[in-house]
Every structure is written in C-alpha cells, then in structure tokens.
C-alpha cells in the first residue's frame, strides 16, 4: 500500500449518547458509594502498584463510567489488593470490592 504520509485515527471523542451504562451500573452494585467519588486521587496517590506500573484506580473506574472498558479487566489485574486506597479514600469507597467487580464484570 502506498504510504501517503498520513493515517487516520479512531475518534477520541466520548459520545455519551452511545455509552452503554448497563455494565457500569452493574459495577456500582459492588459499592454504591463509588457513584460519589470526587476524583481526588487519594487512591492513586497511595497506590503501591502505581509506583511501577501505570495503574490508576481513579482513572480506571472513571473510564469505565464513561463507557471505556475494553481494557478494564487487564488493568484491574495490575492491582495488588493491598487496600491502601481504601484507607485513604475520603468517601470510604471499598476499592478492593470494585477491583474484584471489574475483574468479574468486564
């Protein structure tokens, strides 16, 4: 194929009209307080796995809630379930339950 020096990219746009909320809603059942996350990043700041990998609990569940969960399960595998994030979360979200839920649902 002739290389014209440009290529096309998949749209980065998140179209909320097309997001399937069924699976994220399923995840909320693990711990309903997840809905009240304020995105402070306390979890990811405390995360032991984040020192060595690009694992980010806050980003992971936020992406899932926006319908971006293709690689969610793979991401959740990076978590070592140490629970430091649960201890630091100002909303008291049971983060380990959410991680287990992601592994099960997605």
Partner 1 sequence: MYDIIIIGGGVAGMQAAIAAKKLNLEPIILEKENKLGGKVAHKYSLFPTFSSAEQLIDRLEAQIIENKIDVRYHCEVVSIHKEELSVGYTLNVGDIKKVDNLQARSILITTGYEPFDARIKQEYGYQVYDNIYTSMDLEAMMKKGLILTKEGNTPESIAFIHCVGSRDSQIGNEHCSRVCCVTGVKQATELCQMIKGARVYNFYMDMRMFGSGYEEMYKEAQQNYQVRFIRGRVSELSQTIDHKVRLKAEDTLISKPIAITVDMVILLVGMCGAVNNESIGESAGLELRENGLFKPVNAFDSTTKSTVNGIFYAGCAESPKNISESMNQASQAILNISTYLESK
- Residue ranges binding partner 1 (CB under 8 A): 33, 38-47, 50-51, 56, 58-59, 84, 87-92
Nearer of residues 26 and 87 to partner 1, judged by Cβ: 87
Nearer of residues 38 and 74 to partner 1, judged by Cβ: 38
Q: Annotate 38-48 with b (16+ C-beta within 10 A) or e (fewer).
A: eeeebbbebbe
For the bound state, the minimum distance from the C-beta of residue 32 to partner 1, rounded and expressed in Å, comes to: 13
For the bound state, the minimum distance from the C-beta of residue 8 to partner 1, rounded and expressed in Å, comes to: 26
For the bound state, the minimum distance from the C-beta of residue 48 to partner 1, rounded and expressed in Å, comes to: 10
Nearer of residues 46 and 64 to partner 1, judged by Cβ: 46
- Separation between Cα atoms, residue 26 and residue 102, nearest integer Å: 10
For the bound state, the minimum distance from the C-beta of residue 55 to partner 1, rounded and expressed in Å, comes to: 10
Q: 20: which 2 tokens?
A: 């399937």
Nearer of residues 46 and 105 to partner 1, judged by Cβ: 46
Q: Which residue is it, tokens 């020096």?
A: 5
Look at residues 60, 63, 70, 54 and name the one whose alpha carbon lies nearest to residue 98.
Answer: 60
Please work out, in degrees rounded to the nearest 5, the angle formed at the alpha carbon of residue 71 by the alpha carbons of 69 and 75. Answer: 110
């Amino acid at each position: 194929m002739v290389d014209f020096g440009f290529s096309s990219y998949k749209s980065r746009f998140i179209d909320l009209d097309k997001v399937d909320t069924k699976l994220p809603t399923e995840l909320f059942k693990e711990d309903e307080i997840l809905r009240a996350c304020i995105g402070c990043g306390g979890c990811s700041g405390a995360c032991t796995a984040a020192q060595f990998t690009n694992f980010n609990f806050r980003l992971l569940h936020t992406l899932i809630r926006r319908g971006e969960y293709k690689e969610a399960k793979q991401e959740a595998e990076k978590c070592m379930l140490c629970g430091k994030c649960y201890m630091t979360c100002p909303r008291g979200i049971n983060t380990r339950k959410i991680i287990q839920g992601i592994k099960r649902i997605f």
